[in-house]
A = this chain, B = another copy of it.
């Protein structure tokens, strides 16, 4: 509910930022944005970064200033928050069901270029009704299940049949194929990721062939994440990449094997959680003020980057238990920098991103899409 005031002021030293706080190292952040542009330049790929990771219009605009054609969002309300913040091109990479959401999506399509996924003819028909009711046009992409086992139609003729249905509906245009292998992003070895994306590419090719046999042109194939985007970029079939986490990175991506050998190793950790030591129950234990309400544990406990050697053992609602190595000083009030296990749901817990450079707070950005899950 109540948006809390930011935990810092411009110019503050990091040590003076109130906690828990979400810190963004601007040098590392800009390195990540620039690196993504550099390594995809010349591939012919369009970049459409996923904004579900950051939910933050200033970041979306920074991505677009570097050439991204737009961003992805995962929910209609998240797209609204981005458009409110100045973004003019959003692909909602999800199925949208239910009259209130469809009406909002159709209205949003009058303020921005809006596209969305579908994997069922009934959902397409409902999208068409909503677009017609609002007098807007929505591009609809066929979501193909390329191995993630979540949403999506089967590749080949089932995908083509849905594409034909989209193309036939008033108020809609056929936007292409969405083929995201979410399950491949955190496979631990490059070989596993290569095999998964090779299978996905084959399924995309089958789907393109079936669509072209129907006389449909496929405007774009879009997909890919931080763990695999170089593979999709080199596939010859994808035309647009959707990485999101590369902006921040997290402890789980760092566990991908051989990170230096592939896309994950290109990026620096720009996101940290600042925590304060509030109790020292023993020489080997500290308790910090960052618990389950300040980071998501779905991908494990946070890693502690500063001070190196301390370990985050377990979380309760508002406590984090930390193991302190022999001889390490860590008085009450000490501040620790944690790397969250999973950046996306962690960022969603915060209202503000405290952006710093050379040890000082340079800007404070609103996480405008926090909690925007409608």
Contacts and interface: CB of A to CB of B under 8 A. Distances in A.
Interface of A: 1-4, 7, 18-20, 52, 74-75, 77, 81, 84, 94-98, 100-101, 119-120, 122-123, 145, 149-153, 182, 276-281, 287, 289, 292-294, 296-298, 315-319, 321, 332-333, 342, 344-345, 348-352, 366-374
Nearest to A52: B317
Contacts of A345: 292-293, 317
A293 to B, nearest CB: 5
15 contacts: A1-B352, A18-B374, A19-B98, A52-B317, A94-B318, A98-B276, A150-B319, A150-B321, A151-B319, A289-B373, A293-B345, A293-B373, A297-B297, A348-B349, A349-B371
A106 to B, nearest CB: 16
Q: 10 tightest A-B contacts by CB?
A: A151-B279, A95-B278, A292-B345, A97-B278, A74-B318, A1-B366, A1-B368, A1-B351, A1-B370, A293-B348
Contacts of A7: 374
A315 to B, nearest CB: 7
Contacts of A281: 119, 145, 149-153
A373 B333 contact: no
A9 B43 CA distance: 50
Contacts of A367: 1
Contacts of A123: 332
Contacts of A296: 292, 296
A84 B1 CA distance: 13
B372 A2 contact: yes
B333 A97 contact: yes
